[in-house]
Amino acid sequence: MQVVILFVMLGALYAFMIVPQQRKMKAHQALLRSLEEGDVVVTSSGIFGAIAEVEGDVIWLEVAPEVELKIVKSSVTEKVPDSDASDNDDDDIDDIDDENDDDENDDELVETEDES
In this structure, the answer to whether residues 80 and 107 fall within a common structural domain is no
**Does pTM top 0.75 for this prediction?**
no
Overall number of domains in the chain: 3
In this structure, the answer to whether residues 52 and 75 fall within a common structural domain is yes
CA nearest to 42, candidates 81, 92, 68: 81
Q: Does residue 87 register a pLDDT over 70?
A: no
User: Could you tell me if 28 and 43 are in contact, meaning their C-beta atoms sit under 8 angstroms apart?
Assistant: no
In this structure, the answer to whether residues 81 and 40 fall within a common structural domain is yes
Q: How many helices (H) and strands (E) does the chain have?
A: 4, 5
Give the domain extent around 16. Answer: 1-34
Which band of pLDDT confidence, cut at 50, 70 and 90, is reported for residue 100? Answer: low
User: Could you tell me if 71 and 32 are in contact, meaning their C-beta atoms sit under 8 angstroms apart?
Assistant: no
- Report the alpha-carbon distance of residue 29 to residue 22 in Å, rounded: 11
In this structure, the answer to whether residues 116 and 92 fall within a common structural domain is yes
In this structure, the answer to whether residues 80 and 94 fall within a common structural domain is no
The pLDDT, as a whole number, for residue 27 is 94
The string of pLDDT tens digits covering residues 8-52 is: 999 999 999 999 999 999 999 999 999 999 999 999 999 999 999
The pLDDT, as a whole number, for residue 93 is 43
